[in-house]
Amino acid sequence: MFSMGKMNHQYLPLFLASCLFFISLSQTSSNTSSQHHCLPDQSAHLLQLRQEFVERNYSDYYDYHNGSYPKMKSWKADSDCCSWDGVTCDTQHGVVIYLDLSNSWLYGPLNSNSSLFSLRHLRKLNLALNNFSSSSIPSEFGQLVRLTHLNLSRSFLHGRIPLELSGLSNLVSLDLSFNYFNYFFGGDYHYKLLDLRRIDLEALVQNMTYLRELHLDDVNISSSLPQSLANLSSLTSLSLSFCYLQGKFPSDIFLLPKIQAIDLAYNPELAGFLPKFRSRSSLKELHLRETNFSGEFPNSMDSLGSLNVLDLSETNLFGELPNLISNLKSLNYLDLSYTKISGEMPNSFSNLKSLNYLDLSNTNFSGALPNSIGNLKSLNYLNLESSNFSGAIPSFIGNLSQLTYLSLSYTNFHGQLPSTFGNLAKLTLLRLDNILYNQKVPSFLGNLTQLVGLSLSENNFDCGFPIWLTNITTLRFISFYSNQLKGPIPSEIGRLSNLSVLELFNNSLTEAIPSVLFTIPSLSTLWLDQNQLIVPLIIQNNSLSPLLDLGLSESKMNESVLRSIVNFTKLQVLSLSSINLKGKVELNTFFKLKELQMLDLSGVTDKDKSQTR
């Protein structure tokens, strides 16, 4: 119409006025031309679709339905369907081209006669996060040939993925992930999955040449992957966790020009090797956890400058970390746990400034931790448990002030715990089992006021019960077993009102167990075995207590005390072996423990009974 560049400023008002006139004209005429408005058949199909499902809100263990609402509820027959929630039309023709009914409370089977398949102009369809009641994917999806995006994830679909789906050759994004369905049958849990036969997968890969995203997590593939997957040159994201994959992974997929994310986790029978990565690879996420990948940790990893997440946990990779690992400048998540990757940490490791998650547990990493690790200021998870790192416990760990999780348990570190650990004020979980010999429990740990779990077992601590502990009221898990703790359990322990697990067995604790311990409303596991404790009469209404596991072996008690214990009616495990009991124990005393799976009465002087039911 006009070219703005050539226009003089003096004409500008005139130009704007004519535009306004044009706009108002087009608005008044829009009713008659019915542009933007949905065609009657489109509206009818949508309303029919609404009829096919029950509207039901449900929440699930994983809470992935958070933020959901019934989008179709607002659909009104007398209004323009193009304005309905979740519906988008082609403005030229008034046909529905996008339909997003994800997380919308759809409940009931998705049938092959569904009016969904009459919406022939659909290009994007998202039905994720609904409950299609374990129906299968109708082959009629193959008729929606204009689809570029199809998302049916987490919708309780199962059965064979129809061959017809591979006719959707315009698909750019296909997500059929996490359609598992648990059920209890014949005394056992079973689960149903979507199945994708190898020939159907081949057809799919051959036809969907524009695919950028392919997400099939939890789909039962149970075969090897076709080499032709590596022909999908537009692929950016491939997610195949929990697919029962077999055979060897086609390595060329790692080298696809646009690939950004590969998730093959939890396919224990999938073998493979990491390739020599091309320089400037676009890869951002690589998850190989619990696969049968093997070979040496590659030297060419350093070309993965965009890599954020590297999870090689529980693979058969071996070798040492190359110095050039420092080139992984974007890395923020590194998990090498349960691998055979070993050797010393290269000093250059400290250049990984973005790192916030580091798991080297259950590896053969050895030697001292380089001081420069103290520079990894973003680190909030550090797990070195059961590695062979050695030397004095590094005081620079106390500089990692963002840490929320720290475990040095079962390492070869030794010596006093540096007081810098008292600076780790954000810690919620601290595990220092089996490395602090013959010391007192370091009281500066009382500074860690956010702790939820503290594990200091097998350390030979020779001291009283650390009373400062009872000030950390966030604590839920305390593990202090196999030490030399002496004297009484202080009654201040009753302040720990969130306590769920208390493990104090195999110490030298004496005197009466404070009965306040039995009133903590969240306590489910209490292991006090192998001390010289006296069990008090517990007079509350114990049947409301959540106590599941109780270990009191080698404690002293009398018959009425025993009866008060049997009032914890939810008990599943009760260990009373070698108790010093005044009085008789009748087996029918235990009959009201309906949930009991294990009862240990071995070594009880009056009755010599150990039984399981």
Ligand X SMILES: *[C@@H]1O[C@H](CO)[C@@H](O)[C@H](O)[C@H]1NC(C)=O
Which is closer to ligand X, CB of 65 or CB of 556? Answer: 65
- For the bound state, the minimum distance from the C-beta of residue 612 to ligand X, rounded and expressed in Å, comes to 25
The pair of three-digit structure tokens given for residue 188, joined into one six-digit string: 């056992």
- For the bound state, the minimum distance from the C-beta of residue 587 to ligand X, rounded and expressed in Å, comes to 18
210 is an interface residue for ligand X by CB under 6 A:
no
Contacting residue, 275, 446, 464, 494, with ligand X by CB under 6 A: 446
Stretch that binds ligand X, among 53-61, 345-353, 525-533, 579-587 (CB under 6 A): 53-61
Which is closer to ligand X, CB of 57 or CB of 74? Answer: 57
- For the bound state, the minimum distance from the C-beta of residue 362 to ligand X, rounded and expressed in Å, comes to 28
- For the bound state, the minimum distance from the C-beta of residue 3 to ligand X, rounded and expressed in Å, comes to 33
> CA 506 to CA 457: how far, in whole Å?
10
Contacting residue, 26, 34, 59, 233, with ligand X by CB under 6 A: 59
Contacting residue, 156, 249, 297, 590, with ligand X by CB under 6 A: 156
List CB contacts of 94: < 8 A, sequence separation 6 or more: 34, 35, 36, 37, 38, 39, 42, 82
- For the bound state, the minimum distance from the C-beta of residue 60 to ligand X, rounded and expressed in Å, comes to 4
Which is closer to ligand X, CB of 293 or CB of 465? Answer: 465
Query: Is residue 609 helix, strand or coil?
Result: strand
C-alpha separations of 515 from 138, 486, 542, 583 in Å: 62, 18, 12, 21
Length reported for the chain: 613
Contacting residue, 135, 143, 207, 580, with ligand X by CB under 6 A: 207
> CA 494 to CA 552: how far, in whole Å?
19
Task: Say if residues 550 and 574 touch (Cβ distance below 8 Å).
Answer: yes
Which is closer to ligand X, CB of 423 or CB of 455? Answer: 423
C-alpha separations of 406 from 58, 203, 285, 449, 553 in Å: 37, 48, 24, 15, 32
- For the bound state, the minimum distance from the C-beta of residue 69 to ligand X, rounded and expressed in Å, comes to 6
Stretch that binds ligand X, among 202-210, 260-268, 316-324, 344-352 (CB under 6 A): 202-210
> CA 583 to CA 590: how far, in whole Å?
16
C-alpha separations of 566 from 94, 440, 541, 589, 593 in Å: 71, 36, 11, 7, 7
- For the bound state, the minimum distance from the C-beta of residue 367 to ligand X, rounded and expressed in Å, comes to 27
Mask for 286-315, x = binds ligand X (CB under 6 A): ------------------------------
285 is an interface residue for ligand X by CB under 6 A:
no
* Cα dihedral 389/390/391/393 (nearest 10): 60
Residues 461-500 that bind ligand X (CB under 6 A): 467-468, 471
426 is an interface residue for ligand X by CB under 6 A:
no
List CB contacts of 76: < 8 A, sequence separation 6 or more: none
Contacting residue, 305, 422, 488, 494, with ligand X by CB under 6 A: 422
Contacting residue, 371, 543, 605, 611, with ligand X by CB under 6 A: 543
28 is an interface residue for ligand X by CB under 6 A:
yes
Look at residues 345, 331, 339 and name the one whose alpha carbon lies nearest to residue 293: 339
Contacting residue, 3, 279, 541, 588, with ligand X by CB under 6 A: 541
173 is an interface residue for ligand X by CB under 6 A:
yes
Which is closer to ligand X, CB of 55 or CB of 320? Answer: 55
Look at residues 507, 547, 542, 492 and name the one whose alpha carbon lies nearest to residue 524: 547
217 is an interface residue for ligand X by CB under 6 A:
no
The pair of three-digit structure tokens given for residue 220, joined into one six-digit string: 């039962």
> CA 426 to CA 404: how far, in whole Å?
5
List CB contacts of 163: < 8 A, sequence separation 6 or more: 139, 199, 200, 203
Stretch that binds ligand X, among 9-17, 62-70, 270-278, 361-369 (CB under 6 A): 62-70
Q: Locate tokens 């535009």: which residue? A: 19
DSSP H or E stretch at residue 564: helix 559-565
Contacting residue, 206, 388, 589, 602, with ligand X by CB under 6 A: 206
Look at residues 388, 436, 382 and name the one whose alpha carbon lies nearest to residue 405: 382
Report residue 140 CA to chain centroid gap: 34
Residue nearest to ligand X (CB): 422
- For the bound state, the minimum distance from the C-beta of residue 33 to ligand X, rounded and expressed in Å, comes to 11
Contacting residue, 193, 321, 334, 596, with ligand X by CB under 6 A: 193
Burial code (b: 16+ CB inside 10 Å, e: under 16) for 132-162 equals bbebbbbbbbbbbeebbbbbbbbbbbbeebb
Which is closer to ligand X, CB of 212 or CB of 431? Answer: 212
Residues 110-149 that bind ligand X (CB under 6 A): 111, 113, 126, 128-129, 131, 133-134
**Rule CB under 6 A: which residues touch ligand X?**
28, 31, 57-60, 63, 66-67, 69, 102, 111, 113, 126, 128-129, 131, 133-134, 151, 153, 156, 166-167, 169, 173, 175, 193, 195, 203, 206-207, 213, 215, 220, 222, 228, 231, 244, 419, 422-423, 444, 446-447, 467-468, 471, 539, 541, 543, 563-564, 567
